[in-house]
Amino acid sequence: MAKEILYVKIAKILEDQILSGTLRIGDKIPSIRSVQKIYDVSLNTVKLAFLELESKSLIESRPKSGYYVSKTSQRKFALPSVSKPEICEKESNPEDLISKVFDTLHHKNIRQFSLGVPDPGLLPIAKLNKGVIKAIRTMEDSGTAYEPVEGNLNLRRNVAKWSLVLEGKLSEDDIITTSGTMNAIFNCLMAVTKRGDTLAIESPVYFGIIQSAKAMGLNVIELPTHPITGVDIEVLRKNIHKIDVCCFISNFSNPLGSLMPEEVKKDLVELLTYHNIPLIEDDLYGNLYFGTSRPKPCKAFDEAGIVMWCGSVSKTLAPGYRVGWVAPGKYKEKILRQKLIQTISTPPLYQEVIADFMENGRYDHHLRGFRQKLHTNCLKYQRAVEEYFPENTKISQPQGGFVLWLELDNRIDTAKLYDVAVKQNICFAPGRIFTQHDQFNNCMRLNFALKWDESLESDLKRLGAIVKNVL
């Protein structure tokens, strides 16, 4: 604990210097070694402090040069509060609200800030189509036959190759393909839980995870979650005896965009390994980082096989392909059994297309451009919100992914605001759907994987005006 306090202290001193303007955008930060000497602490402590600052986007590293105050370090609006869900608080199901949001998804004239998928205009659809035509020509029986339960070999091989970069040490035999990430998570929950078990998750969190768990008769504990560093593992530690399984979006959580620092990931895996608690790691946004490198998943620190690492291309290439996967560690047999009884196998064609896309460098190429667009959009959205929304609006600082979380004035109920906005052809995801408790009623999630243009900016302006108008 002493170590933790020390690095937090040092980070705080530097943060104050940045926010007060002592250190300005583009300024070089003292080197790790000089900070070590100044405060007479270990190298590791300084590294942790820098990690903290980096994860808050206050500083950025430049290869072979050191750390600099980042461009995104100056912000007018505050960060959203750290969530404080009361454990065992009374629950209520926001299912009707979720249905309402889904009902407007396919209205073409409504601005879809609510979706959790990228605008098709940002996706390499023509290249994917070429891949489809190639695949039906090269695959045995054009992909019309059942494939082995574990899924397409080429895809498993390419996902495994990818994971090597993350030091995931996986082989094709460690991967099972699924119908998207939600299906991977559903499989994992079905495989390792029984009715009455308790699942620990972030708060706020993607509603699909809560809905899935509830449908299986699981109890759900929502943990306090920091908008920058993610779930509070100290609270998890205190409640560990109550918990049977965890599911966390470790990299760029949905909806907060938080990134669990590497040290925390290590601690988390250690904690769960000690208690033999499986971790379902939802890493579907991991490739959409704004920093210098792809953050490692918890799976990279998993020696005991307790982490079920889930991914997909639903957020990066084609949601409708429903191509995902899981590296299920020691739960492999159970997951295979689930897949078999739920659907026998997954369609081979799209898996082959994605495998080929990965293999030939096209995925990497697409991701490079896509990440840049998303980061730019993120900054533009933040600026637009700062310009058009009330001053007391709090706004998240995602380190990747493509959703922004806004915390509005306490008096605002975004579930009601939703109806007003939809009448003006704008829709967003109301905060209430991301929790089982009566909270986040004044929050909303915005999708920024849309094409930035005047009409988009004007819609953000109109949304800001709607909020102001309600106050």
Residues of this chain that interact with a second copy (CB under 8 A) are 95, 102, 105-106, 117, 120, 123, 125, 128-129, 132-133, 136, 141-149, 179-180, 182-183, 186, 190, 194-195, 208, 211-212, 215, 217, 317-322, 337-338, 340-350
What is the smallest separation between the CB atom of 20 and a second copy, expressed in angstroms? 46
CB of 202 to a second copy, least distance (A): 18
Backbone angles phi and psi of 42, in degrees to 5: -75, 155
Phi and psi for 219 in degrees, rounded to 5?
A: -85, 145
3-state DSSP of 256-305: CCCECCHHHHHHHHHHHHHHCCCEEEECCCCCCECCCCCCCCHHHHCCCC
H/E run at residue 146? none
Closer residue to a second copy in complex, CB, 1/341: 341
Closer Cβ to a second copy, 182 or 246, answer by number: 182
Is 26 or 320 the residue whose CB approaches a second copy more closely?
320
Q: How far is CA 265 from the centre of its chain?
A: 14
Query: 88 vs 215, which CB is nearer to a second copy?
Result: 215
Q: How far is the CB of 349 from a second copy (least distance, A)?
A: 7
Q: How far is the CB of 128 from a second copy (least distance, A)?
A: 7
- Residue whose structure tokens are 């299986």: 216
What is the token pair recorded at 370?
């896509």
CA distance 231 to 187: 23
State the angle between helix axes of 207-215 and 180-192 in degrees (0 to 180), rounded to the nearest 10.
40
CB of 470 to a second copy, least distance (A): 30
With respect to a second copy, which residue has the nearer C-beta, 349 or 404?
349
Amino acid at the residue 423: K
Per DSSP, the three-state class of 311 is strand
In the complex, what is the shortest distance from the CB of residue 102 to a second copy, in angstroms, rounded to a whole number? 7
Strand arrangement of the beta sheet that strand 198-201 belongs to: 176-178, 324-327, 307-312, 279-282, 245-248, 198-201, 219-222
**Cβ of residue 284: shortest distance to a second copy, in angstroms?**
12
Rg, Å, the chain Cα set: 22
Hey, what are 267's tokens? 């601690």
Contacts with 417 (C-beta within 8 Å, 6 or more apart), sequence order = 430, 444, 466, 467, 470
CB nearer a second copy, residue 129 or residue 458: 129
Closer by beta carbon to a second copy, 36 or else 338: 338
Nearest distance, CB of residue 71 and a second copy, angstroms: 33
Query: What is the smallest separation between the CB atom of 365 and a second copy, expressed in angstroms?
Result: 17
CB of 167 to a second copy, least distance (A): 30
Specify the residue, 168 or 348, whose C-beta has the smaller distance to a second copy: 348
**Tokens representing 296?**
């490692």
All residues at 6 or more sequence positions from 80 whose CB lies less than 8 Å from its CB, including other chains:
227, 256, 394, 395, 396, 405, 406, 407, 443
Nearer to a second copy, 147 or 282 (CB): 147
Burial 388-400, CB ≥16 within 10 A → b, else e = bbeeebbbbbbbb
Residue closer to a second copy, measured from CB, 138 or 458: 138
